[in-house]
């Protein structure tokens, strides 16, 4: 196909020409930022710039030079447009997610479909930009990686409208996953309990940030032991919106995951004797971060105090903090030679007693406090793992059979009252 840029440009409609010029300016700014503000280097930054310039140009040339000359041209045009537009929107503006687990109940329910803004905190430039459209980690059906690491870019975030605030509901890449590049790690959603620079502690299930009692999510829940003199009816529990519970024959009572409203309603049921919150005292819990129960016998309900680092902090490293900040130093900030020996920390074989932090970090927790794998188990979330801010629910479909095997049709499983609810 003969290429004549001057003549080809004349084929574009006025609207297409304006869009291409505007896109080129934004793409050029992104290239300059990557080249000047990160360690990507000229070649990687230029390849990323060139890829998008060529991709948009090829689409326009197909539309204005080839579409009407081949069978199915309109279908190919529509498919090309959909892929390019959706990729740009999902990368830099907004993306849809689904809630697969109960870690945020009752604030967010299994089967909620969300829109997550990439713009609020600033869109993250893809670190592995070569990937199969609409697929995150693995290719469907045939399997294998849905991305290529032939081109890898360092972390860079475009300017956003706001910074992460305490109690924001945030989507991020799961830090504990090491088999994928950062932007291809599994997406998690939690509430940001503590931001960079905060100190956090949990005492008997109550969270304190900077020594002040933190706000509790209105619809958040935790586990309770409910002692009764009779069996509670499943339909009655369903009516007061309790979906997670079980009977413990050894304790002769129920374990229920409830909000404060649920607790009040359960207390009114016939046969209920007492309701006791489930609280884990301090003890030997090796699964609790930073996984040194001999020195820090923390539990999910009695935790810390722990400091959440911010960029520029100089951390003093002692026998405890060398473990608390191990992943931060070694994994998230790239000091692969970091080792711990006999209560001391080393980088490249040299003992270090201080470390200057390069990124901001966050402490995330699920609103369903006793059914959430969160920062209490795997530590801090680095800023380069942050995907975006959860905005609102656009659809919510109850999982079939969630209530004791009772099946419903798809129409009756739609939670109409949750549609287009803001997330807060």
Q: Cα(189)–Cα(365) distance, rounded to whole angstroms?
A: 9
Q: What is the mean pLDDT of residues 183-206?
A: 97
How confident is the model over 70-95, as pLDDT tens digits?
Answer: 888 999 999 999 999 999 999 999 99
Count CB-CB contacts under 10 A for residue 71.
Answer: 7
Phi, psi of 402 (to 5 degrees): -65, -30
Burial class (CB in 10 A: 0-12, 13-18, 19+), 64: middle
Residue 246: pLDDT band (50, 70, 90) is confident
- The answer on pLDDT for 198 being more than 60 is yes
Q: Are 348 and 334 in contact (CB under 8 A)?
A: no
Q: What is the CA radius of gyration of the chain?
A: 26
Between CA 67 and CA 130 the distance in angstroms is 26
Given this model, what pLDDT does residue 224 score?
Answer: 93
* Residue 384 CA to its chain's centroid (Å): 11
The single-letter DSSP state of residue 61 is: H
Under a CB-based contact definition with an 8 Å cutoff, are residues 213 and 207 in contact? Answer: yes
pLDDT for position 249? 66
Contact at 8 Å (CB) between 248 and 397? no
DSSP secondary structure letters along 128-193? S--B-TT-SSB-TTT-SBSB--SS-----B---S----TT-EEEEE-TT--SS-GGGSPEEEEEEE
Please answer whether residues 182 and 330 qualify as being in contact, where contact means their C-beta atoms are separated by less than 8 angstroms.
Answer: no
Residue 405 in this model has a pLDDT that exceeds 60:
no
Q: How is residue 265 written in tokens?
A: 């309603």
Nearest to 393 by CA among 113, 179, 45, 85: 113
Q: What is the mean pLDDT of residues 270-299?
A: 94
CA distance 81 to 272: 60
At 6, is the pLDDT very low, low, confident or very high (cuts 50, 70, 90)? confident
Share of the chain above pLDDT 70, in %: 96
- What pLDDT sits at residue 406? 60
What DSSP line would sit under 270-333, residue for residue? Answer: TTEEEEEE--PPSS--TTSTT--TTT----SSSEEEEE---TT-EEE--TTHHHHTHHIIIIIS
What is the sign of the dihedral through the CA atoms of 219, 220, 224 and 230? positive
401 pLDDT band, cuts 50/70/90, is low
CA distances, 268 to each of 223, 236, 257 (Å)? 18, 12, 17
**Mean pLDDT score, 149-178:** 95
Long-range contact list for 231-239, CB < 8 A, 24+ apart?
232/269, 232/271, 232/272, 234/403, 234/404, 236/269, 238/403
Cα–Cα nearest to 399, from 137, 173, 105: 105
Give CA–CA dist 116/383, Å, rounded: 16
């Amino acid at each position: 196909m003969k290429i004549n840029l001057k003549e080809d440009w004349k084929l574009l409609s006025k609207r297409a020409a304006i869009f291409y010029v505007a896109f080129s300016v934004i793409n050029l700014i992104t290239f300059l930022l990557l080249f000047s503000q990160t360690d990507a280097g000229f070649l990687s930054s230029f390849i990323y710039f060139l890829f998008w310039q060529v991709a948009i140009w090829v689409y326009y040339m197909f539309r204005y030079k080839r579409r009407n000359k081949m069978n199915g041209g309109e279908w190919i045009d529509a498919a090309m447009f959909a892929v390019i537009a959706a990729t740009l929107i999902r990368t830099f503006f907004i993306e849809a997610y689904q809630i697969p687990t109960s870690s945020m109940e009752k604030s967010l329910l299994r089967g909620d479909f969300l829109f997550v803004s990439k713009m609020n905190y600033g869109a993250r430039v893809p670190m592995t930009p070569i990937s199969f459209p609409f697929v995150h980690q693995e290719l469907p059906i045939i399997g294998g990686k849905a991305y290529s690491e032939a081109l890898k870019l360092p972390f860079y975030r475009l300017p956003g409208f706001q910074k992460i605030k305490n109690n924001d509901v945030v989507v991020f890449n799961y830090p504990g996953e090491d088999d994928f590049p950062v932007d291809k790690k599994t997406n998690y959603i939690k509430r940001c309990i503590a931001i960079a620079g905060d100190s956090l502690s949990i005492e008997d299930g109550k969270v304190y940030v900077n020594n002040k009692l933190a706000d509790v999510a209105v619809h958040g829940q935790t586990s309770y032991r409910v002692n009764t003199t009779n069996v509670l009816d499943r339909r009655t529990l369903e009516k007061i919106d309790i979906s997670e519970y079980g009977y413990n024959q050894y304790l002769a009572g129920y374990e229920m995951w409830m909000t404060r409203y649920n607790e009040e309603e359960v207390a009114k049921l016939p046969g209920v004797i007492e309701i006791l919150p489930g609280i884990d005292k301090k003890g030997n819990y090796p699964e609790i971060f930073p996984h040194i129960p001999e020195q820090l016998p923390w539990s999910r309900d009695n935790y810390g105090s722990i400091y959440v680092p911010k960029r520029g902090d100089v951390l003093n490293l002692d026998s405890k903090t060398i473990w608390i900040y191990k992943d931060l130093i070694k994994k998230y900030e790239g000091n692969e030679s970091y080792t711990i020996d006999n209560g001391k920390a080393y980088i490249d074989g040299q003992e270090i007693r201080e470390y200057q932090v390069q990124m901001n970090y966050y402490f995330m927790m699920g609103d369903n406090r006793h059914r959430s794998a969160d920062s209490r188990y795997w530590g801090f979330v680095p800023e380069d793992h942050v995907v975006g801010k959860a905005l609102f629910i656009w659809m919510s479909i109850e999982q079939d059979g969630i209530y004791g095997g009772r099946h419903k049709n798809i129409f009756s499983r739609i939670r109409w009252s949750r549609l287009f609810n803001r997330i807060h």
